Amino acid sequence: MNPLLSGAALPRYDEIRPEHVAEAVAKMAEEVEKGLAVIEAEPRPPTWATLVEELNTLEEWFTRVWSPVAHLNAVRNSPALREAFQAAQPRMVALGLKVEQSAALYAKLLAVKNGPEWGKLDLGQRRSVEQRILSAELSGIALAGEKKERFNKIAEELSQLSTKYNNNVLDATKEFRLTLTAPADVKGLTDSIKEMLAHSYARQNPPARPDPANGPWLLTLDAPVYVAFMQFGRSGALREDLYRAFISRASSGGRDNTPLMEEILRLRREKAALLGYGNFAAVSLATKMAKSAGEVTELLEQLRQASLAPAKKELKEVTAFANAAGHAGGLNQWDVSYWAKRLEEKKFGYTDDELRPYFSLEKVLRGMFAVTHKLFGVTIEPADGEARTWNPDVRFFKVFDGAKEHIASFFLDAYSRPENKRGGAWMNTVVGRRVSPAGLRIPVATLTCNFTPPVGEKPSLLSFDETNTMFHEFGHGLQHMLTAVGYPDVAGTSGVEWDAIELASQFMENWCYHKATLLALAKHYKTGETLPEKTFEKIKAARSYRAGMIMLRQLGFALTDMALHTAGKPDIKAIEKEVAEKTAVIPPLAEDRFLCSFSHIFAGAYAAGYYSYKWAEVLSADAFEAFEEAGLEDPEALARTGIRFRDTVLALGGSVHPAEVFKAFRGRSPSPKALLRHSGLLGDN
């Protein structure tokens, strides 16, 4: 039997093969189209039960087949799976449009909204109906004839272009390999970095065995390798080579994303015009918390003004430190991370490698689960072996409420596999929470990271930044898993406006700077010794280190994204130059082509929405301030505030507009002051 068609409660990941995709998609599409026809032809006046509940059941077919395929394409990529995925994409896009562009469904949804049952529906049900109506309108429901055909063609083309763009980035990243054999090439690298590079070489050159002390070592453009070498590699020439390769990924030859970017932007403008919007940013913001591009720009400019002077001062300080250490003249782009890291070590007195032994993945998980229990009253227990996984390293956990009721589960795919797993970290939905006549279905998530795997008897040791990443992704998972909403459209992270979706994840990062939380999990993997308190204080002080430069970098991305999607016909290079003049403390190189690998906006869900990170950071910092006001050292006050956070931000999901959810928790609208204060940028603002 095709595992994608098994109907199992959880996907049979270990059995799914590329050859299963075409058959499963064809069968699923046939069943969905049949079910859609039945719903469309229903002669009785539509109700929540006869319309939305039936649609939810129908859409589960879609999710059950396609979600595992998309997931495996990201974590167990292969040429055959990629080919099967791309071959099925047009059918999936067409099927999605067929549902969203059904005139009969749209009329029925409007009938529910304007009918006698509307007043009896709760807020979640109303939001579900209203979001379906808006989704239909943004999917071209009002279009007919040639305009509808053109709209659908654009949707298919955009899907294919985004996939091609992403594949170009993945292939360009994998293509760069620089083998190092001379000890001078790895001067400055920590033992753990040399170990990572030696294992990287061995994986790519079997049957070679890794030799961290003597090499060879392999440099790649995978984020963990790139960041580590830029921060620790003493060779300026190698840092320059690596930097130039990184900023020019997917910008030349057969993998040049430049024409794809231009076509994607053109098609998005055409799509917006067909829908009656002035630009694509307006389309994007129709489903966001921010009301307009002007409101977004106002916030970004406020943050830019607060960051610019501190950023210039930070660069001056790093440059002076580098000059005193023997670096002649100003800093190049490939010098900043290296010298900033050396200054950080001097100012705060610790290194990443000194911290790593205190942050074994197992102890980080244990501590993270403990603070989750204290704040939200839930218990998390390992359940390895109770679900099928796509790799032997993947773990499975169950979440229990205070009364030991099993309320959710999640997979954790923690380790880097550069040969077939894309970089970064993310949370995905496997199953959404649903309450229906058939009973309760509990939510299940996947948390995916790219940490260094265990080596021999040494466990996976995380940097402090990676510890933050684990808390971040778990925050997304908590919003998915602790939802109290039973309607799939608006349960957990579903239906949450995109610029509010990072609230819970960024909120959880704050606990890495909470003394009791961090010291409870920071235990040396060999001795069990707790991280010294003075080291914690230095970590906390380092939180605002180079905050201005880091803030400006993110603002540069957000402003570029918004400018590309508001311009009538954007001149990409001119926009990059204009934004850089306002946000870059070191002018970019002429060959800098970072947009060619900016997958967030060209192959992800952040088009005209990259600002969402900063928007949600304002929300999350303000939310954490409520815990600070309650008293971070008062367990009872933290628990009370934690339950309020769970009952609002985590429980309500997309069933209530995020502005109202935030007010329900905080008692007022959000303010950027907490973010600026946490970043050390408040000043006189």
Write out the catalytic residue numbers: 473
What is the rounded radius of gyration, in angstroms, for the C-alpha atoms of the chain? 25
Any long-range contacts for 340-346 (C-beta under 8 Å, 24+ apart)?
340/546, 341/231, 341/232, 343/317, 343/318, 344/542, 344/545, 344/546, 346/321
The Cα 325–Cα 554 span in angstroms is: 29
What is the CB neighbour count within 10 angstroms for residue 36?
19
On whether the CB atoms of residues 446 and 430 are closer than 8 A, the answer is: yes
Q: Residue 408 in 3-state DSSP?
A: strand
The Cα 650–Cα 110 span in angstroms is: 29
Place of tokens 């994607």: 264
Tokens of 592: 């800098």
Classify the C-alpha dihedral 621-622-624-628 as positive or negative: positive
On whether the CB atoms of residues 18 and 83 are closer than 8 A, the answer is: yes
- Among left, alpha and beta (phi > 0; psi -120 to 50; other), residue 276 is left
On whether the CB atoms of residues 425 and 473 are closer than 8 A, the answer is: yes
Pick from 186, 45, 66: which is nearest to 118 by CA? 45
- Among left, alpha and beta (phi > 0; psi -120 to 50; other), residue 414 is alpha
The Cα 251–Cα 596 span in angstroms is: 6
On whether the CB atoms of residues 514 and 274 are closer than 8 A, the answer is: no
477 Cα distance to chain centroid: 11
Judge residue 589's burial from the number of C-beta atoms within 10 Å of its C-beta, 0-12 exposed, 13-18 middle, 19 or more buried.
middle
Place of tokens 């039973």: 486
The Cα 215–Cα 217 span in angstroms is: 5
E strand or H helix that includes residue 440: strand 439-441
On whether the CB atoms of residues 272 and 283 are closer than 8 A, the answer is: yes
Please, what's the b/e burial string for 490-510 (b: 16 or more CB within 10 A of its CB; e: otherwise)? bbbbbbbbbbbbbbbbbbbbb
Classify the C-alpha dihedral 325-327-330-336 as positive or negative: negative
Tokens of 106: 């749209």
Tokens of 237: 């020439």
Tokens of 644: 């309020």
* 140, amino acid identity: G
Pick from 54, 195, 627: which is nearest to 374 by CA? 627
* Rounded-to-5 percentages of helix, strand, coil across the chain: 60, 10, 30
Annotate 202-238 with DSSP letters as a single string.
Answer: HHHSTT----TTT--EEE--SHHHHHHHHHH---HHH
The Cα 637–Cα 166 span in angstroms is: 46
**Orientation of helix 19-41 relative to helix 53-75, angle to 10°:** 160
